[in-house]
């Protein structure tokens, strides 16, 4: 198969077959080593080019293949200048349209795909997308499907699209799931060799992980490990990538693996990237390992890997990777590794420059997408206008449009009916729980207020508690009704929320302390709703803590912010924890929680619906050991 790939996709013009076989053999071996040993790939390609120059100058396809092999290998080594030099050669050779050239169109597509990868690393995502869009519009990839050089280019096209949408665009496109579905559908046709299979598996795993499907990502990781165990298929680059992806997927699956095991996977990937030698991947390994070490509180490990990189970075050739470098500066700033304020200031300045560069390119990409959308609309309008020249065509078009609109209206009405039915069923199912919780929360206060001997100060406190309960009920009903409480999205400092909540919560009882850990983090969401949520969690913790403390803190993994409210109270059993935020079941006997926590659940659902970033709330508790409430919001 590889021999066919490197010999070309069409019948070759008259070239000495014996000499051509020498070039094809060198190119084949270089291609096989493109991921495994980039230096070997470059050396073999250079030998092929020298042989062509000395003995076979008419073999243009052989030269194109050798230069594309070299360009890909230099990309793997993060040598953008040399890779670009090789790609310029390919562009120049194809532009001459030598009649002896059979594979010029597909080799030009492959060179554009490599250039698109280089542009992505430099965060020039608009320029990268232009190349990918032009490739798609050219139709070259569809002309000879089933031939290996075209299948290789097709696989590279999808890998590059997946990386663009899920890494450099953070999966923000509205149509990203359709891209995954398209790749999954064509997956059986994109078979080239073990290395390409693993590269496509990794790209799919990254896409599904970014889409919140960690289980699917882990399945692709397992597929890669199966391939790596086959004779002659092991590749340090793919091994390291797969380890890092598995760590990322397991990190997103709470309870599946211990934090230390996940850190070990990140560190093993980092070591493998160092052995492979690509500085871009090495920086990625260092950043991922240090970020996760800080997340789980292992500052010593974070300092170790960051210090090792800082001691080595001067030995590497410079390379452009703004997004990766921003991640590195984020981690090294948060690690507090430097004692010298001037050095920290330089880090902040570098990060700000890179962030502005990335933002500028993101704005350019957004403008490009809007231009393409406008062009597509204009193109459709022109097509409809052309159809209008024929009366029969106009009639058929109008009829088709009416049928389409009717079908869409019927589908929309069906969806609305189904959604209304679902809401009705949910409301009916929640009536018993709602009444139970209402009775549970209000009855104690009514009992207190009916006592004639109740002290005035205690009566005021009970009234305040009752007012807070009715406020929670009002907010809960507003949130649970689709046309209810508005969601005012913004990005705000979490410390402002801490300060507001600290002034609003209950006063701790004697022997109990309330502590807010200062934070510099920002949160994206509705500030008022976050205040209501946090106030309820803290009040609940204070009410069930008779001695000790209630501590409020926050941490971030760079994408999401975790807020923790920890108390030293009586704790809960597994049944109580499981039913804690459930509005669809009766509270277990002895539970001390009501509308306040159900309201918290609705607030988190509102944030997840509005941000689509995986916002959630959960509890960790054990009887007699206190409780920690976790709130995960978008940063």
pLDDT band of 238, cuts 50, 70, 90? very high
What are the backbone angles phi and psi of residue 522, rounded to the nearest 5°?
Answer: -115, 150
In the prediction, which pLDDT does 392 show? 65
Lowest-pLDDT range of 2-11, 205-214, 403-412, 493-502 = 2-11
User: Helix axis angle, 391-449 relative to 341-387, nearest 10°?
Assistant: 140
In the prediction, which pLDDT does 429 show? 45
Mean pLDDT across 449-470: 65
Query: What is the H or E stretch that residue 218 is in?
Result: helix 214-228
The pair of structure tokens assigned to 143 is 């002309």
More reliable by pLDDT, 145 or 500 = 500
Query: What is the H or E stretch that residue 475 is in?
Result: helix 456-480
In the prediction, which pLDDT does 485 show? 57
Residues 6+ apart with CB under 8 A from 70: 30, 41, 42, 45, 46, 82, 83, 86
> Among 211, 218, 221, which residue's Cα sits nearest to residue 179?
211
In the prediction, which pLDDT does 470 show? 66
In the prediction, which pLDDT does 3 show? 44
How far is it, in rounded angstroms, from Cα 546 to Cα 306?
A: 43
Q: What angle do CA 17, 23, 28 make, to 5 degrees?
A: 115
Residues 6+ apart with CB under 8 A from 399: none
User: Residue written as tokens 């049928």?
Assistant: 403
In the prediction, which pLDDT does 591 show? 41
**Helix count and strand count (H, E) for the chain:** 23, 7
Q: Is the per-residue pLDDT at 2 higher than 50?
A: no
Q: Is the per-residue pLDDT at 432 higher than 70?
A: no
- β-partners of residue 514 are 550
Mean pLDDT across 370-374: 71
pLDDT band of 586, cuts 50, 70, 90? very low
Q: pLDDT tens for residues 292-336?
A: 999 999 999 999 999 888 887 755 445 578 888 888 889 999 998
More reliable by pLDDT, 379 or 418 = 418
Q: pLDDT tens for residues 46-61?
A: 999 999 999 999 999 9
Residues 6+ apart with CB under 8 A from 242: 198, 202, 221, 224, 225, 228
Mean pLDDT across 477-505: 76
Q: How far is CA 351 from CA 119, 302, 320, 332, 358, in A?
A: 20, 19, 14, 11, 10
In the prediction, which pLDDT does 576 show? 82
Q: How far is CA 139 from CA 11, 132, 133, 142, 231, in A?
A: 20, 11, 11, 5, 37
Task: Output b/e per residue, 215-225; b: 16+ Cβ within 10 A.
Answer: ebbbebbebbb
pLDDT band of 462, cuts 50, 70, 90? low
In the prediction, which pLDDT does 468 show? 67
Strand bridging mode 512-516 / 548-556: parallel
More reliable by pLDDT, 375 or 513 = 513
- pTM of the complete model: 0.58
Q: Is the per-residue pLDDT at 440 higher than 60?
A: no
Phi-psi region of 481 (alpha: psi -120 to 50; beta: other; left: phi over 0): beta
Q: Is the per-residue pLDDT at 428 higher than 50?
A: no
Residues 6+ apart with CB under 8 A from 568: 545, 547, 548, 549, 550, 626
User: Residue written as tokens 């649970």?
Assistant: 480
Q: pLDDT tens for residues 72-117?
A: 999 999 899 999 999 999 999 998 887 778 888 999 999 999 999 9
How far is it, in rounded angstroms, from Cα 533 to Cα 616?
A: 12
Q: How far is CA 77 from CA 34, 74, 473, in A?
A: 10, 5, 60
Torsion sign across C-alpha atoms 416, 419, 423, 425:
positive
By CB neighbour count within 10 A (0-12 exposed, 13-18 middle, 19+ buried), where does 131 fall?
buried
> Among 278, 246, 258, which residue's Cα sits nearest to residue 83?
278
Query: What is the H or E stretch that residue 143 is in?
Result: none
pLDDT band of 389, cuts 50, 70, 90? low
Residues 6+ apart with CB under 8 A from 62: 20, 23, 24, 27, 48, 52, 56
Mean pLDDT across 494-508: 86
In the prediction, which pLDDT does 451 show? 58
Whole-number average pLDDT of the chain: 81
**Strands (DSSP E) found in 49-179:** none
For residue 617, the tally of other CB atoms under 10 A from its CB is 22
Strand bridging mode 627-634 / 560-567: antiparallel
How far is it, in rounded angstroms, from Cα 116 to Cα 162?
A: 12
> Among 188, 194, 105, which residue's Cα sits nearest to residue 141?
105
How far is it, in rounded angstroms, from Cα 183 to Cα 188?
A: 9
pLDDT band of 351, cuts 50, 70, 90? confident
Torsion sign across C-alpha atoms 245, 251, 255, 258:
positive
Q: Is the per-residue pLDDT at 44 higher than 80?
A: yes
Q: Is the per-residue pLDDT at 5 higher than 50?
A: no
Q: What angle do CA 466, 470, 471 make, to 5 degrees?
A: 115
Mean pLDDT across 483-506: 82
Are residues 357 and 321 in contact, defined by beta-carbon separation less than 8 angstroms? no
pLDDT band of 448, cuts 50, 70, 90? low
Mean pLDDT across 587-601: 60
More reliable by pLDDT, 231 or 474 = 231
> Among 194, 273, 261, 275, which residue's Cα sits nearest to residue 233?
194
């Amino acid at each position: 198969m590889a021999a066919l790939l490197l010999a070309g996709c069409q019948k070759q013009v008259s070239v000495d077959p014996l000499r051509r076989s020498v070039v094809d053999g060198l190119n084949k071996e270089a291609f096989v080593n493109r991921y495994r040993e980039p230096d070997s790939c470059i050396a073999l390609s250079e030998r092929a080019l020298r042989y062509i120059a000395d003995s076979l100058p008419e073999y243009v396809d052989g030269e194109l293949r050798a230069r594309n092999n070299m360009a890909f290998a230099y990309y793997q080594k993060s040598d953008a200048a040399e890779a670009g030099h090789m790609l310029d050669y390919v562009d120049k050779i194809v532009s001459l349209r030598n009649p002896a050239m059979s594979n010029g169109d597909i080799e030009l597509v492959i060179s554009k795909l490599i250039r698109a990868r280089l542009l992505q690393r430099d965060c020039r995502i608009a320029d990268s997308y232009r190349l990918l869009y032009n490739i798609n519009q050219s139709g070259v990839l569809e002309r000879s499907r089933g031939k290996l050089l075209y299948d290789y280019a097709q696989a590279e096209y999808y890998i590059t699209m997946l990386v663009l949408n899920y890494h450099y665009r953070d999966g923000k496109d509205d149509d990203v799931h359709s891209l995954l579905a398209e790749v999954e559908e064509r997956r059986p046709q994109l078979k080239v060799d073990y290395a390409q299979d693993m590269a496509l598996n990794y790209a799919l795993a990254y896409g599904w992980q970014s889409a919140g499907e960690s289980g699917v990502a882990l399945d692709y990781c397992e597929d890669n490990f199966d391939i790596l165990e086959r004779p002659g298929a092991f590749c340090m680059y793919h091994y390291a990538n797969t380890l890092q992806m598995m760590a990322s997927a397991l990190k997103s699956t709470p309870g599946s693996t211990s934090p230390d095991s996940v850190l070990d996977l990140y560190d093993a990937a980092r070591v493998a990237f160092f052995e492979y030698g690509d500085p871009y991947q090495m920086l990625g390994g260092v950043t991922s390992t240090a970020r996760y070490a800080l997340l789980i509180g292992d500052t010593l490990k974070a300092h170790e890997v960051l210090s090792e990189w800082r001691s080595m970075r001067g030995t590497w050739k410079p390379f452009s990777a703004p997004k990766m470098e921003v991640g590195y500066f984020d981690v090294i700033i948060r690690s507090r590794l430097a004692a010298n304020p001037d050095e920290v200031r330089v880090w902040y300045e570098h990060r700000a420059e890179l962030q502005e560069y990335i933002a500028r390119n993101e704005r350019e990409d957004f403008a490009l997408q809007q231009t393409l959308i406008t062009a597509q609309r204009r193109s459709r309008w022109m097509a409809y206008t052309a159809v209008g020249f024929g009366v029969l065509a106009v009639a058929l078009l109008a009829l088709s449009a009416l049928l389409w609109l009717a079908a869409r209206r019927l589908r929309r009405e069906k969806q609305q009916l189904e959604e209304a039915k679902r809401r009705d069923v949910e409301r009916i199912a929640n009536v018993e729980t709602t009444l139970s919780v209402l009775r549970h929360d209000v009855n104690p206060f009514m009992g207190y207020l009916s006592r004639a001997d109740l002290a005035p100060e205690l009566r005021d406190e009970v009234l305040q508690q009752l007012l807070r309960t009715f406020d929670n009920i009002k907010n809960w009903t507003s949130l649970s009704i689709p046309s209810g409480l508005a969601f005012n999205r913004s990005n705000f400092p979490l410390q402002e929320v801490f300060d507001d909540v600290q002034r609003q919560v209950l006063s701790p009882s004697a022997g109990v302390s309330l502590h807010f850990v200062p934070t510099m983090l920002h949160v994206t969401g509705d500030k008022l709703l976050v205040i209501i949520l946090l106030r309820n969690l803290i009040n609940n913790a204070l009410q069930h803590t008779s001695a000790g403390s209630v501590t409020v803190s926050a941490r971030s993994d760079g994408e999401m912010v975790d807020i923790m409210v920890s108390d030293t109270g009586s704790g809960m059993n597994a049944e109580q924890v499981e039913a804690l935020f459930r509005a669809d079941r009766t509270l277990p006997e002895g539970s001390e929680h009501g509308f306040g926590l159900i309201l918290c659940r609705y607030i988190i659902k509102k944030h997840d619906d509005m941000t689509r970033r995986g916002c959630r709330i959960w509890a960790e508790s054990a009887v007699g050991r206190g409780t920690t409430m976790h709130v995960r919001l978008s940063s």
